Amino acid sequence: MRHLINILDLSVDEIDKLIDVADDIMANPDKYNEVCRHKILATLFYEPSTRTRLSFESAMMSLGGNVLGFSEATSSSASKGETVADTIEMVSGYADIIAMRHPKEGAPIVAAMHSTVSVINAGDGGHYHPTQTLTDLMTIRHEKGRFDNLTIGLCGDLKFGRTVHSLIGAMARYEGVRFVLISPEALRLPGFVKHEYITSKGISYEESESLEEVIGKLDILYMTRIQRERFVSEDEYLALKDSCILTAEKMKSAKPDMIVMHPLPRVNEIEVAVDSDQRACYFKQAHYGRYVRMALIMKLLGLIENDVPYTPAEDKKPIVYGVYTCRNPRCITSIEHELPQAFKLADKENSIYRCVYCETRQNR
């Protein structure tokens, strides 16, 4: 059973093929409007969403399929204390494919373990958001015509921004990509992303607190919102909320062909005056989401003709059970106490283990 939990669950060739299919759907929508007839997508959204949920639902309906689900945890049995595992045991009997968003990191991994149908991670806490990355990659291919040899600036909340984590994982697989990480110190990229995808692969990167200073060298500027809902302290959020703002004035120092992306929703981190700049791509980016999710649904239901062959990478990292306890308050194990505490060896040389659900490093 194929699931999409992390963007690395898809090979580079599979991503290329998905974007080819999405392009074909955009050009010939009628060819696809019956391909998912009698198929059901369940959208289980335990956390708010506009674009992701609606684009998934629109995608399934545009393929001739049906949709059921919930858009907030309070309207599901989660509010009565039902576990993810129990919910999924049932929903996988009601639907052919599941898209799930959850505030706790690693919840989709638990879902995949209990599902008899494909599970798509539609965002888990401050961890990953692989389908936003598919949307981002489609935008990059359309606007820049390539994935390699690009300098990508990621600006804003790099700590909790799950779209940033997945995009870095995806882009780190292409030749000659450089990252410029722009954030206040308190919102820097977490170790599981920085180490796993950048430093351990020898990829070139720099960190800066000033967008003005680095904007001139970027091919892509990926702006993000400060993720208010992930802060433990409101005061800390208030102190950081205006730290990275893109203005029309700053755009004057950017390359004429730099593109500005943003997963949306925007709060105040991009001045509205930037919207009319030719280089602003964020609304187009949101639009692509529907088509690439149509392609993804087709793929996971086995409906793409001549799909590229898939060879899963062998994961040989040893797992230890019951040795460490995850201390991340956003991990699914923080609310579902019967889940086994499992840690995977992430860095043998330095004996670093990471929680298999949320990838937080073990406490020493």
If binding means CB under 6 A, how many residues of this protein chain bind ligand NCD? 12
Let me know if 51 is a catalytic residue: yes
Binding residue for ligand NCD, selected from 264, 296, 346, 356, defined by CB under 6 A: 264
User: Which one of the listed residues 38, 74, 80, 364 is annotated catalytic?
Assistant: 80
User: Which one of the listed residues 3, 53, 101, 194 is annotated catalytic?
Assistant: 101
Hey, CA dihedral for 268, 271, 274, 276, is it positive or negative? positive
| Contact between residue 251 and residue 277 where contact means Cβ atoms under 8 Å apart | yes
Q: Is residue 2 marked as binding?
A: no
Looking at the Cβ atoms of 39 and 225, the one nearer to ligand NCD is 225
Looking at the Cβ atoms of 92 and 132, the one nearer to ligand NCD is 132
Closest approach, Cβ 234 to ligand NCD, in A, equals: 17
Let me know if 101 is a catalytic residue: yes
List, in sequence order, every residue forming a beta bridge with 68; answer none if it has no partner.
42
What SS3 class is residue 70? strand
Could you give the CA distance from residue 24 to residue 18 in angstroms, rounded to a whole number? 10
Q: Burial letters for 222-232: b for 16+ Cβ neighbours within 10 Å, e otherwise?
A: bbbbbbeebbe
Q: Is residue 265 marked as binding?
A: yes
| Neighbouring C-alpha atoms within 13 Å toward the C-beta of 221 | 31
Residue 340: count of CB within 10 angstroms of its CB? 10
Closest approach, Cβ 140 to ligand NCD, in A, equals: 16
Residue with tokens 């692989």: 130
Closest approach, Cβ 221 to ligand NCD, in A, equals: 16
Tokens of 278: 């030719």
Amino acid identity, position 279:
R
User: Which one of the listed residues 129, 141, 195, 330 is annotated catalytic?
Assistant: 129
Amino acid identity, position 21:
V
Looking at the Cβ atoms of 51 and 279, the one nearer to ligand NCD is 51
The residue among 235, 127, 131 whose CA lies nearest residue 186 is 235
Looking at the Cβ atoms of 257 and 275, the one nearer to ligand NCD is 275
User: Which one of the listed residues 39, 43, 52, 102 is annotated catalytic?
Assistant: 52
* Region from 5-13, 186-194, 260-268, 345-353 binding ligand NCD, contact rule CB under 6 A: 260-268
Let me know if 354 is a catalytic residue: no
Looking at the Cβ atoms of 65 and 126, the one nearer to ligand NCD is 126
Radius of gyration of the chain (CA): 20
Let me know if 217 is a catalytic residue: no
Binding mask 121-140 for ligand NCD (x = CB under 6 A): --x-----x--x--------
* Region from 10-18, 68-76, 192-200, 259-267 binding ligand NCD, contact rule CB under 6 A: 259-267
Does residue number 3 form part of the binding site for ligand NCD (CB under 6 A)? no
Closest approach, Cβ 124 to ligand NCD, in A, equals: 10
The residue among 26, 12, 32, 6 whose CA lies nearest residue 297 is 32
The residue among 182, 242, 185, 240 whose CA lies nearest residue 216 is 182
Binding residue for ligand NCD, selected from 159, 165, 195, 225, defined by CB under 6 A: 225
| Contact between residue 78 and residue 100 where contact means Cβ atoms under 8 Å apart | no
Could you give the CA distance from residue 220 to residue 337 in angstroms, rounded to a whole number? 42
Binding residue for ligand NCD, selected from 63, 263, 282, 359, defined by CB under 6 A: 263
Let me know if 135 is a catalytic residue: no
Site for ligand NCD in 287-326 (CB under 6 A): none
How far CA 211 is from CA of 112, 181, 214, 300, in Å, comes to 39, 9, 6, 39
Say which residues have a Cβ less than 8 Å from residue 113's Cβ, sequence separation at least 6.
85
What SS3 class is residue 106? coil
Tokens of 72: 């907030």
Q: Is residue 341 marked as binding?
A: no
Interface ranges with ligand NCD (CB under 6 A): 51-52, 123, 129, 132, 162-163, 224-225, 263-265
List the binding residues.
Answer: 51-52, 80, 101, 129, 132, 162, 225, 264-265
List the binding residues for carbamoyl phosphate.
Answer: 51-52, 101, 129, 132, 264-265
List the binding residues for L-aspartate.
Answer: 80, 162, 225
Residues with catalytic function: 51-52, 80, 101, 129
